[in-house]
Structure 1
Amino acid sequence: MRFYGIDLAAEAKFTGLATVATNDSSIRVEALAVGVTDEQIIHAVTTAEGTGVDVPVGWPKAFIDFIHHHGNQALVTPDDTGGAWRRTLALRTTDIDLHRRTGLTPLSVSANLIAYPAFRWAGIEARLRDQGVDVSRDGSGAIAEVYPAAALYRWGIPHRGYKGRKHQAVRAEVIKALSARFDQLDWNGFDALALAEDDALDAVISALVRYQIFRGQCEGPPAHLQDIARTEGWIWVPKPAES
Structure 2
Amino acid sequence: MVMSPVSMNLLPMRTAGVDLAAENKGTALAVIEWTDREARLEQLTLEVGDVEITEAAAGVAKIGIDCAFGWPDEFVAFVADHSDLSRAHTPDGRMEWRRTLAYRETDRQVRETLGRWPLSVSTDRIGLTAMRCAGLLGRLTASGLLVDRSGRDGVVVEVYPGATLRLWEWEIRGYRSDPEVRGRLVAQMQRDTPWLDLGAHTELMVTSTDAFDAVVAALAARAAALGRYEPPPPEHQARAEREGWIVLPSCRLDELLSADS
SS where residue 199 of structure 2 aligns?
A: coil
* Residue of 52, 64, 79 corresponding to 1:52: 64
Provide the rounded CA distance (Å) in 2 between the counterparts of 1:240 and 1:23.
18
* Residue of 148, 161, 171 corresponding to 2:161: 148
SS where residue 40 of structure 2 aligns?
A: strand
Provide the rounded CA distance (Å) in 2 between the counterparts of 1:109 and 1:50.
23
Displacement, 1:135? 1.2
Distance verdict in 2 for CA 1:119–1:105, change over 3 Å: same
Distance verdict in 2 for CA 1:218–1:182, change over 3 Å: farther
1:160 aligns with 2:168: no
What is the match of residue 136 of structure 2? 124
Displacement, 1:224? 2.0
1:88 aligns with 2:100: yes
SS where residue 124 of structure 2 aligns?
A: coil
Structural mapping, 1:104-123, within 5 Å: 104-123=116-135
With structure 1 as the length reference, what TM-score do the two structures score?
0.94
1:191 aligns with 2:202: yes
Provide the rounded CA distance (Å) in 2 between the counterparts of 1:68 and 1:90.
15
SS where residue 13 of structure 1 aligns?
A: coil
What is the match of residue 14 of structure 2? 2
Displacement, 1:154? 0.9
Displacement, 1:236? 0.7
Provide the rounded CA distance (Å) in 2 between the counterparts of 1:72 and 1:134.
34
Contact residue 18 and residue 31 of structure 1 kept, 8 A:
yes
SS where residue 209 of structure 1 aligns?
A: helix
Structural mapping, 1:27-106, within 5 Å: 27-73=39-85, 74-78=87-91, 80-106=92-118
Contact residue 149 and residue 160 of structure 1 kept, 8 A:
no
Provide the rounded CA distance (Å) in 1 between the counterparts of 2:38 and 2:211.
20
Cα RMSD (Å) of the superposition?
1.4
SS where residue 125 of structure 1 aligns?
A: helix
Gaps of 5+ in 2: 1-12, 253-261
State the AA in 2 paired with 1:138. Answer: S
Displacement, 1:53? 0.5
Provide the rounded CA distance (Å) in 1 between the counterparts of 2:127 and 2:207.
26
State the AA in 2 paired with 1:142. Answer: V
SS where residue 190 of structure 1 aligns?
A: helix
Gaps of 5+ in 1: none
State the AA in 1 paired with 2:235. Answer: H
Displacement, 1:156? 1.6
Distance verdict in 2 for CA 1:224–1:183, change over 3 Å: farther
Moved over 4 A (4+): none
- Out of 220-229 and 116-125, give the one that drifted further: 220-229
Displacement, 1:240? 5.9
Displacement, 1:125? 1.0
Contact residue 90 and residue 108 of structure 1 kept, 8 A:
yes
